[in-house]
Amino acid sequence: METEGSIAYDEVVELALYDPNHGFYATSGQAGRRGDFITSPEVGPLFGELVASYLDQEWDRCGNPDEFVFVDAGAGPGTLARTIAAANPRCADVLRYVAVEISDAQRESHPPFVESASQLPTGPFDGVIFANELLDNLTFTPVRRHDGELRTVRVGCEDDELMEVVGDRLAAEDVSHFKPGIVGGVVQQAAANWLEHARTSLTQGSVVVIDYARDRSEDVEVRTYLGHERGTSPLVQLGSNDITVDVDLAQLQSRVGPATELTTQKAFLEELGIEDLVEEGRAHWKENAAVGDLGALKARSRVREAEALLDPEGLGGFTVAIWR
């Protein structure tokens, strides 16, 4: 089947995830233990406490401006906003919190103290733009080597079933971001566009991306999930599955410039003092376990949260990329 009668792959992903009536995030997709995926903010309040510490560090580094903007990109229902507010960072009095979420249903759950938006705010401003597991959910276009050249993958239909079909020759500009001889990959133009927009919005501050990521384009994998279980093809049960793709670090940095810092979530949170908070929690639990009050239970929970956030085979192994 040729490109006639087919549609672009990224358009299919856009509809499957974000269509306002039938898309995954408009109908069933949600984070949390009872949802379809667990993100770091949903593990518990500890992650928000540490992000609050990062905000204070960046506020100090920028010279303590009178207004400091925190953009929570892909904010979901606003879980991170609530935990950062509860942590009461030093910059709280000058903090402008913008919770960006494309899903109307998710925005309705945002707390009243945030600015709720569907798109990144217009700069320039001083602050932090924070994207936790956002870029892996942006649209993408798979490419495959066909007859000696890289071509896009499009979506066609045969016998009432969606199927991948060979598309157009990949543009020379896109080819330049892949290593010679690669047999396939994923063009992540939407992620590059988002990052470029974010970087140019800041006068001072940083863009922080935390996500599934790969150093080599050939290792990038597309996945689907439903109810914490791996699914099959992204073209099966459109709108019912979460569709994610590893962030191609090599391609992204080729398109927008090298990251200032590359590390893991484990190392990032350790640098922010997670071990001190955990020890504080252990001590409080040991001292108050017999009482069993709310504070003691929260202290014990902090230890368990840290285990999940630092797990090198799980959330702790995620890549943290920072652009300043």
Nearest to 323, CA basis, from 206, 227, 187, 157: 206
Please determine, for residue 141, whether its predicted confidence score (pLDDT) is greater than 80: yes
Please determine, for residue 273, whether its predicted confidence score (pLDDT) is greater than 60: yes
Confidence of residue 105 (pLDDT cuts 50, 70, 90): confident
Please determine, for residue 158, whether its predicted confidence score (pLDDT) is greater than 60: yes
- In this prediction, residue 288 carries a pLDDT of 64
189-196 mean pLDDT: 96
- In this prediction, residue 236 carries a pLDDT of 86
CA distance 160 to 158: 5
Please determine, for residue 134, whether its predicted confidence score (pLDDT) is greater than 60: yes
Please determine, for residue 279, whether its predicted confidence score (pLDDT) is greater than 50: yes
pLDDT for 281-319, tens place per residue? 676 556 665 565 566 567 667 888 999 999 999 999 999
- In this prediction, residue 1 carries a pLDDT of 40
The encoded tokens of residue 37 equal: 């995926």
- In this prediction, residue 4 carries a pLDDT of 62
Residues 6+ apart with CB under 8 A from 8: 141, 152, 154, 155, 167
* Ramachandran angles phi, psi of 221, nearest 5°: -130, 140
β-strands 125-132, 68-73: how paired? parallel
What domains can be seen in the chain, in order of their start residue? 29-139+188-269 (3.40.50.150), 273-310 (no CATH)
10-39 mean pLDDT: 76
Q: Locate all alpha helices (DSSP H) within 62-203, ordered by sequence.
A: 79-87, 104-107, 172-175, 189-201
